[in-house]
Structure formats: structure tokens, C-alpha cells
Structure 1
Amino acid sequence: MSKSQSHTLRNIGIGVFVVAAAVASSGLVLRAKEDDALKTWTDAQAIAAVAVVNPSAGAGQMQLQLPGRLEAYRQAPIYARVNGYLKSWQLDIGSKVAAGQQLASIDTPDIDQQLMQAKAQLGVAKANAALAKSTTERWQKLAQTKAVSMQEAQQNQSAYEASLAQVRAAEANVKYLEVQKDYAAIVSPFAGVVTARNTDIGDLISSGSNGGQALFQVADVSRLRVYIRVPQQDVPQVPVGTLASISVPEHPSKHYQARVEASSQAVDQDSGTALMQLVMDNSQGELLPGGYASVELDLPKPKGVVTVPASAIIFDAKGLSVATVDSGNKVHLKPISIARDLGRDVEVATGLTVNDKVITNPPDGVSNDTQVRVVNSDA
């Protein structure tokens, strides 16, 4: 082999080596880049991915929905004032009744006999008074002629005055029994509807509430009272005069208006609520006393109250908190207090503002300064 050929082969070998070295070097660089990319991806996947939202301030009002009970504006159990037997009844349940209208009549044989006796005693008292009057007039004339002493005349005058007092007592007794006789007619104290009749013809009637259940129940249903129990924290937001919307199961498509008329101004220790009374019109008779009602109150929302998803709430040994994310994607736990639990959402009274980025579903074990990766841009 000539010297020139040997030089050529050596150059070719060097070129092949250089190319091979370049290929190997390129492969190593690419592998290093791939390793770096894999490490970066793995590190990124190790950081928890979270979705965040801004708390919602909502509208200027909030709805408070409470169960209520409808009651007649006025209702009264009707008891007998005298003993006897039920002679007749004129109105049954569901009947409209006017004020003073008769509901039933009681046969009162005992009072009838007592009244007859009292009238007879009144007649005797009047006869005795008439005799005493004529006697005292005669004695007064005799006393003027000195035929009898003045003392005897005064004694007859006193006897006459005593007989007049007996007449008045007998008259009072007759009037009392006549009033008792008038109670034999059972009448309604006000206009309304008969909601119960617990007696029938021939029943033995005893006077007063100790004699058993009421003979009738009368209710004024032209207006209704609605009783609700308001949670303590909402009581200041429900002053007298607050309007409410009423709905009932039997008329699901209708809403009726009521107004807060009175408050107990006290919180029940067992339930933590205050009793309030609303009044509503029922002139059409569509609503039934004693029934259930759903009451909705539009209340002004307290300042600073925001709404977040219920899933954002963290409950641990330190109490209630939410996880927020700062500009560097680090977690900060903020303690909060809840105003109302709305089910899917929660109204937060303190601890948050509308500018906070709240994690909707905090990962387990999340703590302050934990690095996270935000996967949405809603906040």
C-alpha cells in the first residue's frame, strides 16, 4: 500500500470516529434533556392540583325559610254555664255562625223550679212589705197624737225598711235565676265557623270546663295567625312589620302574604329560637287553621357575608377553616364562622373576602405553605 493510500484511510477513520462521537454526544444530550423533562413532569405531578373559586357576595337579600303552623285568629271552646240536658243543637261542624247566634239549647228543670220558687218568695216579700208599710203609716199617725211612743213608731219603720230589703234580695235572686235560664241558650261569642261539636241531644250537661270537653269549638278564620320559630342569629333581622310569603301543600302554586305582628322577645333555651307571630288574610277561606305552612322571609344580608361551596369547609381539631391560595400558589388556612348552611353552599360570616381564592375541594392533610397547582382560572 502506498503512502498516499495509507494517509487517505487514516483520514477516513478519523472522520468516521468524529461522526460516531458526534452521534453519541447528541444522543447523550437528548437523553439528558429527556431526563430533565421527565423529572420536571414528575415533580409537577407530585404537587397537588386544585380548583379555586372566589367567594360570592350574592344579592343584598337572603331568604330564610321556616316551617310554620296556621291558627285561627280567634278561637274559643264553648262550655255550658248551667246544668241540664241538651234539648237541641242548631249548627254542626263547618257551619258559619254570626256573633250571638244560637248553637244549642239546654233543658234546665232544676233552674226552672228554682225560678218558680224565687218568684213565689218575691211575692211573699212584696206582701210583707206592703203590710209593713201600712202598719208603719198607722203608727206614725198615732205617734203624732201621743197615743204611742215614738220608739214604737221607729221600730215599725225599721221593720218596714227591713221588709223592703227582703224584697230587693228576692228580686235579685229572681234576676240571677233568669240570667241562669238565659244561659240555657248556647250562643257564639263572635262570628266564625263551628270547627267542633262534641255533644248530642239528650246528653247530660255539666256547667263549666270541669264538666268535661267543650260542647262546641268556634273559630274566626277570616284572618289567621302563623307561628314560626326564628333562629337566634336571625331575630334582629325580623322586626315587627316584616313581610313573608306563605305556601301550603294543598295549594302548591299559590303564595300568600303575611306580616310579622309580634315577637316573644325571648329565646327558648331548648331550641335556641324565638317565637314570632304573623297575621294574614283568609277572607276567601282557602287556608285551614291547624295546617302546616312554609314561611319565606326576605332578610337583608349582613355585611361581609360571602358564599362558598360546602365542600371547601375544613373541620378539624382547630375548628372550621378554608384553604386559600396566594399569588405564589401556596396554601393559607383561614379560620371562619358560618352564618347559614344552605346545603350545597355555605354562607360565611367572618374570615373571608370576595378577593380570596378558595380551594373548592382541599386535599387531605393540606396545611399552611403547602405548594399547590391551580388547574382552573375561575378566580
Structure 2
Amino acid sequence: MNYETKMDLATADEGAVDHERGESAEGSSSRKRLWVILAIVAALVLAAVLLTGGKETEPFTADRSGELATVTVLAPGSTTIEGRINATGTLAARREMPVGVVGEGGRVQSVLVEAGEWVRAGQVLAVIDRSVQTQQAAGQSAQIAVAQADADLAQANLDRALKLVERGFISQADIDRLTATRDAAVARVRVARAQLGERQARNAQLNIVAPAAGLVLERNVEPGQVVSPGSGVLFRLARGGEMEVLTQVGEGELAQIPLGATGKVTPVGSDKVLSCQVWQKAPVINRENRQGTVRCAMSYDEALRPGGFAMVELASGTINAPRLPESAILSDDEGSYVYIVDGKNTVQRRDVKVGMISDDGIAIASGLDGSERVVLRAGGFLNPGEQVRPVMNKAQ
């Protein structure tokens, strides 16, 4: 009995210990699950904070009452907007003058200018050898002397005959013949003088001269070279040194650029910003690329190199219109539109037509007068007729 009693007590004690161990294991497992859940919640909260930047999404939030959405609105007003068109262009002489052989040509004796030099009107650029032409001019001068001598003799014969006709020694027919001889001799004098003048004019054309004052852009001739009227362009000049930039713009932009508009030109490879003025627009549009040429005149500058490229910024006129950021303008199949909030805080759709685009925003050509409260952002989440709580943009 004593033995069995001891065994029963020992068995009871062991059961109690096992029961306590089971309860302890179950509590430890529950605590682990709780810590895992808390860690997951903390990770989700941290991710939400990082995604939102730690700030509330102001443009479109639910009101604390849960009834109205909060939207940021902007009353743009009306401002003067100056449009700008950026393009690339090619530098060129505004009035380019090709100079070649005008006369009969010959061997170039000397070239008196270099490319890059300034010349005045009538200045000799190159001289062609005229040794043969000089002798021809001398021969023409001698022909004048011969013709003049014949004319003097014919006049003397006529004068003597007129004295004898009164005495009846010479008939009137002889007088007419002598008069005709004298007139023919005088005419030959005039012909000889005209031929000499022609020869001298041809000799003068042997000098290649500048037709107007300007800058020499090209020199394509060297001493000893034989040239003729078919030799092509020997010199190329920019009249007055005037330059221009030719830029291609779309037909829509071409219509926005007025004559006389100013612009800024930055030649490639230079830090200089030069001014220009539009003096001509292409009267036709290229059918292939739907572009037209704008010619913008410039004063001479050392940084300008005809044939080079330049960055061009042209003024496309000014307008008075509301200006909105890009986030406020939406579009669909019907065109561009914005959402406005009326006096009853109701969202309304308003169709608009966009105008000039600049770094400061997009001009509204029509559809708004600037006094409306325009939804600044999150318009895609709204519907016409929806009630909202508008908040004026703090930047205004």
C-alpha cells in the first residue's frame, strides 16, 4: 500500500509538470505570432509614409466628415503672355553678291584682296593682263588721227570749191560731191572715236571690281589663272556685311510669327547671344515637311560664319489670356477641357482652346476669362455635377 501510494503521487506530480509545460509552450507560440503581426503592420505603415513623402495628398482628399472631396482650385486671371518659338537655323549673308568675269577675260595678273577683308564699292579685286588690249587701243587711237586728217582735207577742198563756184569754174554738182566727201570723212572720225571708246571700256572690264561695299566671303582665283565669262564665281561678297539666319518652322508657328519680330541667335561653338529681326517669311510651305522659312536679319559679328548653324529663339507675338499649368488641362475625344467649381461648389466641365505654350504654363485662347475657379489637379477623379470642398491654391 505504501508503495502504490508513492507511485500514485509520483505519477500525479509528473502529470502536473507536463500540463504546465504544455501551457508554457502554447503561450510562447502566441507571443511570437503577435510580434510577427506587429512587425508586418509597422512595415506597412513605414511603406505608406515613404510613398506619400510624409505629407497628406492635398489635391484630392476626403473631408473628415466623409461627405465632400477637397480639391485645390486656381483663379488664373488674365496676363500678358509672350510666345517663344525655339528652332535651329543656318547662318548666311543677307545679300550675297557673286562676282565673276564681266569682260573677255584673260590671264590673271594679280589678286588684291583676301577672304575676310572689307572692300568699298568699285574697289579692284583682281587685275587681268591687258598687254594685247592696250595695243589694240593704241591702234584705234591712230585710226582717229587718220580719219581726222581725211576730214580736214575734205573740208579744205569744199571750201576752195565754194569760192570758185561763184566764178562759174565749178558746177553745183561738184559742190554736192565735195560736200558728201567731207561729211563721210567726218563720220569716219566719229566711228573711230566710238571704236576707241569701246576698246577702252573693254579694257576697263579686265579689272574685276566690287559692285558694292561689303565683306569678302570667298576668293576662288589665283594669279596666273586664265579666266573667262564661263569661269564661274571668282569672289563672293556679303553686301554691307549684313548677315541673316534662316530657320525652318511649322506652318502653324509660321503664322504666329509677325514681320519685325525680334529673336535671339546663339551660333554653334560660341557663347554670344546676338539679336535678330524677322524681315521675311516664306510665301509658300514645303509640301514634304509642311514647314516654311523665316529669315531674320542680323548685324555683322565675328562670331557669325555663313553656312554655320545657330540656335534661334523667336518671339511669336503677345496675347492677354489666362494661363494654367499643364496639370489643370484635360483632353478627350471632344478636345481640351478643364473642370471649374461654380458658386455652389459644384464641378462643371468647361471646353477650352489652348494657345501659346511656355515654361510658365499654357495659355487659354478661349473658354475662360480668368475669374473662374479651375481645378488645379486630380481633375481625372471628378465628374460634372459633383459637390466638392474647394481650397484656393496657396501659391496665388
Q: One fold, TM greater than 0.5?
A: yes
Question: Relative to 1, partners in 2 of residues 1:42 and 1:55: Cα closer, same or farther, differing over 3 Å?
Answer: closer
Provide the C-alpha distance between the structure 2 equivalents of 1:188 and 1:41, rounded to a whole number of angstroms.
82
Structure 2 partner of 1:323: 339
Question: Relative to 1, partners in 2 of residues 1:374 and 1:134: Cα closer, same or farther, differing over 3 Å?
Answer: same
Question: Relative to 1, partners in 2 of residues 1:251 and 1:51: Cα closer, same or farther, differing over 3 Å?
Answer: same
Contact 2:267–2:303 (Cα < 8 Å) also in 1: no
Provide the C-alpha distance between the structure 2 equivalents of 1:42 and 1:111, rounded to a whole number of angstroms.
106
Stretches of structure 2 that go unaligned for 5 or more consecutive residues are 1-61
Provide the C-alpha distance between the structure 1 equivalents of 2:393 and 2:243, rounded to a whole number of angstroms.
52
Q: CA RMSD in A?
A: 3.8
Corresponding residue SS for 2:372: coil
Structure 2 partner of 1:206: 228
Structure 1 partner of 2:234: 215
Question: Relative to 1, partners in 2 of residues 1:100 and 1:323: Cα closer, same or farther, differing over 3 Å?
Answer: same
Kindly state the Cα deviation for residue 42 of structure 1 after the two structures are TM-superposed: 12
Structure 2 partner of 1:357: 373
Provide the C-alpha distance between the structure 1 equivalents of 2:65 and 2:231, rounded to a whole number of angstroms.
84
Provide the C-alpha distance between the structure 1 equivalents of 2:171 and 2:239, rounded to a whole number of angstroms.
70
Give TM-score, length-normalised by structure 2.
0.67
Q: Percent identity?
A: 25
The residue type equivalent to 2:82 in the other structure is: M
Corresponding residue SS for 1:88: strand
The number of aligned residues is 324
Structure 2 partner of 1:231: 254
Kindly state the Cα deviation for residue 49 of structure 1 after the two structures are TM-superposed: 7.0
Provide the C-alpha distance between the structure 2 equivalents of 1:111 and 1:122, rounded to a whole number of angstroms.
17
Contact 1:99–1:191 (Cα < 8 Å) also in 2: yes
Provide the C-alpha distance between the structure 2 equivalents of 1:293 and 1:167, rounded to a whole number of angstroms.
66
Give TM-score, length-normalised by structure 1.
0.69
Kindly state the Cα deviation for residue 182 of structure 1 after the two structures are TM-superposed: 1.2
Q: After TM superposition, list the pairs within 5 Å mapping 1:1-379 onto structure 2.
A: 51-55=72-76, 57-58=78-79, 60=80, 62-67=82-87, 70-72=91-93, 74-82=95-103, 83-108=105-130, 111-112=133-134, 114-207=136-229, 211-220=230-239, 222-225=241-244, 231-235=254-258, 240=260, 244-252=263-271, 254-258=272-276, 262=279, 268-270=284-286, 275=294, 277-280=296-299, 282=300, 285-291=302-308, 292=310, 294-297=312-315, 299=317, 301-303=318-320, 305-342=321-358, 345-361=361-377, 364=380, 368-370=384-386, 377-378=393-394
**Partner deviation per Cα, 1:193-242 (whole Å, 9 max, x = no partner):** 321011223333122xxx2431111224554445667732442xx6x5x6
Structure 2 partner of 1:10: none
Contact 2:339–2:349 (Cα < 8 Å) also in 1: yes
Corresponding residue SS for 1:302: strand
Question: Relative to 1, partners in 2 of residues 1:337 and 1:110: Cα closer, same or farther, differing over 3 Å?
Answer: farther
Corresponding residue SS for 1:231: helix
Contact 2:108–2:222 (Cα < 8 Å) also in 1: yes
